[in-house]
Homo-oligomer: A and B are copies of this chain.
Amino acid sequence: MKQTPDTSPFVFSPSILLAHWQGHRRLTRKLIAAFPEDQLFKFSIGGMRPAGEMMIELLTMAGPGIKGIATGEWPTYQEAAALFPGPCSRQQLLQWWDEGTEQINSWWPRVAASRWQETDKAFGAYEGPVYWSLQYFIDNEIHHRGQCFVYLRALGIEPPAFWDRS
């Protein structure tokens, strides 16, 4: 993660942000792999959604989200979610996850530099600058993964290390 010091005022460049997102996605993938398959769409605390449903939300924002960011063409959220029908197997979730990883890597270089500051409606509904939509996708992933860490602990399983994005 070491960078050569420079004097530009940016904090996160697009390339840093891509690495940051994919690092988080590697961690979330480990969580899915560690989750007991028979509890993925079953276990819940306090009436919250099961982990598998939260993961489908993240899948919906990942592949379809980066395509919308790159092209400005958005499906509705419901249309995008329909690409990932649950309940499904853990292997299916992991396969969709890896496809999302490829889609992000493929679309990212096609996001025009000026695009990040444009105002758009993510999934035709959520209006804001494009950088804001992307940050929401990442924050939402951290938020729900943190919740699934609690599920895993409640099931007696140690989650992957939060700081390890390898």
A residues at B contact (CB < 8 Å): 1-14, 16-17, 20, 24, 45-48, 113-114, 116-119, 128-129, 131-132, 134-136, 139-140, 142-147, 149-156, 162-163
Q: Are B1 and A156 in contact (CB under 8 A)?
A: no
Question: Which of A11, A116, A143: most chain B CB closer than 10 A?
Answer: A11
Shortest Cβ distance from residue A3 to the other chain B in the assembled complex, whole angstroms: 5
Question: Other than the known A9-B113, A46-B150, A147-B149, what 9 A-B pairs have Cβ atoms closer than 8 Å?
Answer: A1-B128, A1-B132, A5-B117, A8-B117, A9-B14, A12-B12, A46-B154, A142-B143, A143-B143
Copies of this chain, tallied across the complex? 2
Chain B residues, CB < 8 A from A4? 117
Chain B residues, CB < 8 A from A10? 8-13, 116
Q: Are B12 and A131 in contact (CB under 8 A)?
A: yes
Chain B residues, CB < 8 A from A6? 114, 117
**Given A12-B10, A14-B11, do A45 and B1 touch, yes or no (CB 8 Å)?**
no
Complex Cα distance, B6 from A114, in Å, reads 6
Complex Cα distance, B135 from A94, in Å, reads 26
